[in-house]
Amino acid sequence: MTQWTLMIHGGAGILRPDTLPADQAEGARAGLNAALDAGAGVLANGGSALDAVEAAVRVLEDDPHFNAGRGAVLSFDGCVCLDAAIMDGSGRQAGGVTGVSATKNPVSLARRVMTATPHVLLSGTGADQFAREQGLEQADESWFATPERRRQLEELRARVDGWFDAEMKYGTVGAVACDAQGHVAAATSTGGVTGKRWGRIGDTPLVGAGTYADDRACAVSATGSGEYFIRAGVGHEIAARVRLTGEDIATAAAAVLADVQALGGTGGVIVAAPDGTAHWAFTTPGMFRGQTDASGHRAVAIFGDE
Ligand code: GLY
């Protein structure tokens, strides 16, 4: 039996005590703990890594402190456009959705894409239609769009150079896990970046970029400037280094984040290996993050020096 482990993130960015109000930090820590509770409850009862990452990400999607599901950032035209993916390392099965605007928990829709269709990635109104056909809970704009996200969009719209939130302050959520059988899984969910236009898609729903899992190597969930994470193929690249060169997950994660940085991007990753080890790494001042495992260890942190 492998010692199970669960690691989560709620987004990387310019997170410091002087940029993140204390009440928001406290709320985010409570949300991270709730997500760890949900995923750990699955794993402690002998459940699968796949069920655990979905359970943890659903909690973060429902929590308005994070940029996914409820509390997702808004696109330039004021709409929610949600992306998510999930991957099972045991057979490299994967599912993703992009541009979803009516499905309450995009991570669960991504899982249905994986299990109930022959496809890997569905988009837009078709993906929401599939969610309805699958009986997944729907929600309207008032559930997703919080007053704070509307204020952030207006702030961005007022800037003459506002392509989108170039500082990527509002993150993404994700989870990686290894279960007692030594299987790994990853899930990631996001609203993308504030002010995105023209159907922009980031790394989150793209298998091999923001989300990847392979029992022969590791599971990866990323957060950061998606365009760079796509160009570096972050999830697959970390797994390929582990599998083909024998690097440990910390060395592989550091090397790939350095490559992203060389391209001009910043962010973070969480990684879980089939031996029950897990590692987080980030090149931003902070990352909402948490970890727990079968030994009872638990850690929740936000800032870089914690
Ligand atoms: N990393 C999330 C995004 O760029 O959409």
- Cβ(185)–Cβ(87) below 8 Å: yes
190 pocket-lining for ligand 1 (C-beta < 6 Å): yes
Nearest to 113 by CA among 84, 144, 150, 79: 84
Q: Which two tokens stand for residue 202?
A: 């980031």
Q: pLDDT (tens digit, 9 = 90+) per residue, 181-224? A: 999 999 999 999 988 999 999 999 999 999 999 999 999 999 99
How far is it, in rounded angstroms, from Cα 186 to Cα 235? 10
Minimum-distance ligand 1 atom for the alpha carbon of 227: 4
Nearest to 154 by CA among 77, 224, 241, 60: 77
pLDDT at position 252 is: 98
Q: pLDDT (tens digit, 9 = 90+) per residue, 15-24? A: 999 989 999 9
85 pocket-lining for ligand 1 (C-beta < 6 Å): no
Which of 193, 211, 283 to mutate to test ligand 1, by most ligand atoms within 8 A of the CB atom?
A: 193
Minimum-distance ligand 1 atom for the alpha carbon of 210: 1
The CATH homologous superfamily of the domain defined by 5-297: (Glycosyl)asparaginase (3.60.20.30)
Nearest to 290 by CA among 62, 98, 29, 12: 29
Other C-beta atoms closer than 10 Å to the C-beta of 216 total 12
Minimum-distance ligand 1 atom for the alpha carbon of 267: 1
What percent of the chain has pLDDT above 90? 84
**Catalytic annotation, pick one of 5, 98, 103, 172:** 172
Q: Is the dihedral of CA 116, 71, 173, 124 positive or negative?
A: positive
The model carries a pTM of 0.96
> How much distance in Å is there from the Cα of 110 to the middle of ligand 1?
16
Q: Say what the alpha-carbon torsion angle 8, 10, 42, 92 is, to the nearest 10 degrees.
A: -70
204 pocket-lining for ligand 1 (C-beta < 6 Å): yes
How far is it, in rounded angstroms, from Cα 106 to Cα 108? 5
What percent of the chain has pLDDT above 70? 96
> How much distance in Å is there from the Cα of 20 to the middle of ligand 1?
20
Q: pLDDT (tens digit, 9 = 90+) per residue, 84-136? A: 999 999 999 999 999 999 999 999 999 999 999 999 999 999 999 999 999 99
Domain locations along the chain? 5-297
47 to 44, 50, 78: CA distances (angstroms): 7, 8, 39
> How much distance in Å is there from the Cα of 2 to the middle of ligand 1?
32
Q: Which two tokens stand for residue 112?
A: 């249905």
How far is it, in rounded angstroms, from Cα 123 to Cα 118? 15
Q: pLDDT (tens digit, 9 = 90+) per residue, 214-261? A: 999 999 999 999 999 999 999 999 999 999 999 999 999 999 999 999
Confidence of residue 157 (pLDDT cuts 50, 70, 90): confident
Specify the residue with its C-alpha closest to ligand 1, atom 4: 226
In this model, does residue 163 exceed pLDDT 70?
Answer: no
Q: What average pLDDT score do residues 43-66 get?
A: 97
> How much distance in Å is there from the Cα of 169 to the middle of ligand 1?
11
Active site residue 115: no
